[in-house]
Homo-oligomer: A and B are copies of this chain.
């Protein structure tokens, strides 16, 4: 399967070019090949849209235009175009904006279905992941990355953590997650343990882990870092640390002793997907200055045997814990935390190698190159870098700042070229709660109306293409279109 990797410029990870691709003993080349295939087909679906529509547009004045156009669409895109738009082309010209929007949402739905399928084939891995988390002493892993599109592949690509029933991800601009929402989440997780003993009983002494993920750009740190923090890494770290501490404090204050939660902070270099894991000390405290860098560790260990490399990872974690100076902490974290950190670093080695093999020294799109704006709860299953700009919001009133940034990005990416901005408004519902689906659909409509009202010129000129959908809670549930 390694042979399935497309031939692109390969590089020694981290830019230390030696002419031949590097092979780390702990990198998972089989999974890399599968992920490359997945990335190719998802991005390919979006990339095929513009050339295909351009070719179709050129056929406009030929005989049997609609028939030829559909044939081309089937062949190049794999689906048909709305017949009505083709039939009406002779009157006022072909409505290319409408076709583009249709294709973008078709690509999105096909990608989501592919990811959902893929998830079904990973049931064994899922069980392994669950057992691994439990072995490390965690009964819940709640990850909040920044909403930046370049982190959209966090679980699947960068950290290689499968979505399980007790690990999940919710993105916020600048990783500034909502403490109140997360406390509620902690509460319902705990209740399930007490009532049902799932996934561990209340007596088990396992922990709830809250992870925040910030990001930087090693090649252009002052411009391509986290927009929510003005591309200032220091600010991004401090802000995420503050939220993590607030979260832990909130639970300790509200639910007396024994409310044991762990916190973890991870940084991602969006140029190379290499991570930096901040190592908690024995009391669970974090520091901006105490961490392990996966890229340096990758290079140090790339030529060792698998066992030696694994040992070196654990040693690096111990070294970080023993740091003096600003990063000084009080001892090492508990054993389960050390195992989890080692696991994340080793997983990331595969991704470092993936990026180096497919793209060379760094991603070619170090900036924005998103294909659509994802509004609402987001398509949890579609996990790939730079596919979507993501604005997690339940009302535009609260999320207007995030949305404005997204619209600005897409004015440059799409509107400048005459293409509409695909806005996929998506909410999850809970089929076990009566009326929940209807309320989620109504919310999607309300948010759509608010978006149209906020950008009236774009709406009037047909540059805002909104697609509304809802989805039941369980991971991999079908995406149900509510209203085109």
Contact = CB atoms under 8 A, between A and B. Distances in A.
Interface string A165-189: 0000000000000011001100110
Nearest to A246: B434
Contact of A433 (B196, B250, B432, B434): B250
A398 B446 contact: yes
A48 interface: no
Interface stretch (A28-36, A149-157, A252-260, A376-384): A252-260
B430 A254 contact: yes
Contacts of A396: 397
A304 interface: no
Question: How would you classify the secondary structure of chain A's contact residues: helix, strand, loop or mixed?
Answer: helix
Contacts of A179: 433-436, 439
A433 B187 contact: no
Given A184-B184, A187-B188, A188-B184, A432 B256 contact: no
Given A188-B184, A434-B249, A195 B194 contact: yes
Interface string A396-410: 111000000000000
A17 interface: no
Interface residues of A, number: 33
Interface-centre pick from A184, A430, A433 (highest chain B CB count, 10 A): A433
Contacts of A253: 432-434
Given A184-B184, A397-B396, A397-B397, A255 B435 contact: no
Contacts of A432: 250, 253-254
A190 to B, nearest CB: 6
A194 B188 contact: no
A59 interface: no
Nearest to A259: B195
A50 interface: no
Identical chains bound together, number: 2
A184 B184 CA distance: 7
Contacts of A94: none
A436 to B, nearest CB: 7
Given A190-B195, A196-B256, A256-B196, A433 B180 contact: yes
B250 A434 contact: yes
A260 to B, nearest CB: 13
A2 interface: no
B195 A434 contact: no
A450 interface: yes
A397 B187 CA distance: 28
A394 to B, nearest CB: 8
A253 B435 CA distance: 13
A240 to B, nearest CB: 13
Interface centre among A195, A256, A397, A439 (most CB of B within 10 A): A397
A395 interface: yes
A245 interface: yes
A231 B398 CA distance: 33
A191 interface: yes
Interface in A380-436: 395-398, 430, 432-436
Given A184-B187, A187-B191, A250-B434, 20 more contacts: A179-B433, A179-B439, A180-B436, A190-B194, A191-B191, A191-B194, A191-B255, A194-B194, A194-B202, A195-B202, A246-B434, A250-B432, A253-B432, A253-B433, A254-B430, A254-B433, A395-B397, A397-B446, A397-B450, A398-B446
Interface of A: 179-180, 183-184, 187-188, 190-191, 194-196, 202, 245-246, 249-250, 253-256, 395-398, 430, 432-436, 439, 446, 450
9 contacts: A180-B433, A190-B191, A190-B195, A246-B434, A246-B435, A249-B434, A250-B430, A395-B397, A397-B397
The 10 closest A-B CB pairs, nearest first, are A253-B432, A194-B194, A246-B434, A250-B433, A395-B395, A395-B397, A397-B397, A191-B191, A254-B432, A249-B434
